[in-house]
Structure 1
Amino acid sequence: MSMVLKFLVGPLLFAATSAAVGIRGVVFKVGIIQAALPQGIVPFVFAKEYNLHAEIFNASVSLGLALAFPITILYYVILGA
Structure 2
Amino acid sequence: MALQGKIIACGAALTIYAMILRFVVGPATMALGCVVLGLRGNVLRIAIIQAALPQAVTSFVYAQEYGLHADVLSTAVIVGTIISLPLLIAYYAILDIMS
TM-score, structure 2 as length reference:
0.70
Letter in 2 for 1:39: Q
Which runs of 5 or more residues in structure 2 are unaligned? 1-16
- Greater alpha carbon shift after TM alignment, 2-11 vs 44-53: 44-53
2: CA distance, partners of 1:8 / 1:64: 12
* Aligned equivalent of 1:13: 29
Misfit runs of 4+, over 2 Å:
47-60
Deviation of 1:55 (Å) = 4.5
- Segments of structure 1 that go 5 or more residues without pairing to the other structure are none
Q: Hey, what's the Cα distance between the residues in 1 that align with 2:35 and 2:68?
A: 39
In the alignment of these two chains, the number of paired residues is 81
Aligned-pair RMSD on alpha carbons?
A: 1.9
- Which letter does structure 2 place at the counterpart of 1:21? L
Superposed CA deviations along residues 49-72 of structure 1, whole A, max 9, x for unmatched, are: 235554543232111110111111
Correspondence for 1:3:
19
TM-score (norm 1): 0.83
d(CA) in 2 for partners of 1:50, 1:20: 36
When residues 51 and 17 of structure 1 are mapped into structure 2, their CA distance, relative to the original with a 3 A threshold, is closer
Matches within 5 A, 1:62-81: 62-80=78-96
Instruction: State the distance in 2 between where 1:9 and 1:54 align.
Output: 22
Give SS of 1:72's match: helix
The aligned residue for residue 14 of structure 2 is none
Structure 2 Cα separation of the partners of residues 66 and 23 of structure 1: 30
